[in-house]
Amino acid sequence: MQVSSTWSPPSGTLGTLVAAAVDRVTALQPQRAAIERAAAAAPVPPSFVAVLEGVTLAIIAEIKRRSPSKGDIAPDLRAPDRAQDYVAGGAAALSILTEPDRFGGSLADLRAVARTVSVPVLRKDFLIDPLQLLEARACGASSALLIVRALAPRHLVAMVASARAAGLEPLVEVRDERELDRALAADARMIGVNNRDLETLHVDPTTAGRIIPRIPSDVIAVAESGVTGRRDAEAAAAFGANAVLVGSALSVAPDAVAAVRALTGVARADRGSRGP
């Protein structure tokens, strides 16, 4: 599959977040050697892919304090404590937002969670440079989010390769069929389908159900955004998702253990070997 060269920089909220990420990467350059050493010395993390390959829908539970669409969600949330509750409830993996300005996250959250739990951890951020992938690896991540809309096609290919070179298996996020083609052309082995358009913040709840059946069966498929309860998890499992990534609904739950447990144990349908 060839990589399309048709691309323009993202606009709207995503464009703002990517521009801020560029500034953070520029400021990070003096620390490059130290980050490279820390990533090289970090222990091998658990496999993110392996925990999503079961016959039941896996739950990726997210730690999220706020977001551009909702504002404050759980501003006082303590990442290690909430992570332990998620795992006790049956979460297969965790997603840690590290973007500081609009999501209230930090690399300190990622590092603390990776040290606290034994399940694999995803760095969720606006990642546009291999140095950010090395940061993730140094902090104990098993995976890192790559947003197709945020990366030019050849840059996406390079970032997927850089992630694997760093010891991470990236979760490559798409929102439509064209972006799915780009993710597959970049050799993505885990694809997240986001019901939310990050440029406009509009949510189309039909997106994952339309796109996931098109993902080859040997690629992990994750449904993102809009999962609030078991009925949503059952719907994702029915169209062949391997996992759901659940953020706001779990971050605000007064009983995080029970909230995760309520989503677990859903049998999932198989996808065909090739999408339609």
Known catalytic residues?
Answer: 62, 64, 124, 173, 194, 224-225
SS3 label, residue 104: coil
Instruction: Name the strand (E) or helix (H) holding 224.
Output: strand 220-224
Residues 6 or more apart from 19 whose CB is under 8 A from it?
Answer: none
194 has which bridge partners?
Answer: 224
Q: Strands 66-67 and 71-72: what pairing?
A: antiparallel
What count of other Cβ atoms lies within 10 Å of the Cβ of residue 20?
A: 15
98 has which bridge partners?
Answer: none
Beta carbons of 226 and 236 less than 8 angstroms apart? no
**Complete DSSP assignment for 150-188:** GS-HHHHHHHHHHHHHTT---EEEESSHHHHHHHHHTT-
Beta carbons of 121 and 94 less than 8 angstroms apart? yes
Please measure the distance between the N-terminal and C-terminal CA atoms of the chain and give it in whole angstroms: 16
